[in-house]
């Protein structure tokens, strides 16, 4: 089992749709969690951190479920510019950072 698993997609959705991604992690001692966005041929950019209480930033909502060991990202009112690969990142403590393989999203007009 991979340490961090994501559905690779691709998710093809129309503009305005709501889309959700899940990510599961295997290390129950993991301490911090993030979602990054990576555009084609570009570096990953931090989208948001994920807190136990859940957090929201505009159209994006991230949640953490420690009991089930998964994190989620919800995108509301999808825009064309949301098309990218979304990377789930888990910190196991110390220097151990694990990236998921990413979920590809295509938003179409």
Partner 1 sequence: GAVVSQHPSWVICKSGTSVKIECRSLDFQATTMFWYRQFPKQSLMLMATSNEGSKATYEQGVEKDKFLINHASLTLSTLTVTSAHPEDSSFYICSARGDPTDTQYFGPGTRLTVL
Residues that bind partner 1 (CB under 8 A): 31-32, 34, 41-46, 49, 87, 89, 91, 95, 97, 99-102
What tokens does 64 get? 């953490």
Distance CA 43, CA 45 (A): 6
Q: Residue 7 Cβ, how far from partner 1 at the closest point, in Å?
A: 13
34, 41 contact by CB (below 8 A): no
What tokens does 70 get? 């998964």
State residue 92 phi and psi, 5-degree precision.
-90, 5
Question: Considering beta carbons, is residue 50 or 77 the nearer one to partner 1?
Answer: 50
Q: Residue 47 Cβ, how far from partner 1 at the closest point, in Å?
A: 11
Q: Residue 18 Cβ, how far from partner 1 at the closest point, in Å?
A: 25
């Amino acid at each position: 089992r991979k340490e961090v698993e994501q559905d690779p997609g691709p998710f093809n959705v129309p503009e305005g749709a709501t889309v959700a991604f899940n990510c599961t992690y295997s290390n129950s001692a993991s301490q911090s969690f993030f979602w990054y966005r990576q555009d084609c041929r570009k570096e990953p950019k931090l989208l948001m951190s994920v807190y136990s209480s859940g957090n929201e930033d505009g159209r994006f909502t991230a949640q953490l479920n420690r009991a089930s060991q998964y994190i989620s990202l919800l995108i509301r009112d999808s825009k064309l510019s949301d098309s990218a690969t979304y990377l789930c990142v888990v910190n196991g403590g110390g220097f151990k950072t694990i990236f998921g393989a990413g979920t590809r999203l295509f938003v179409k007009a």
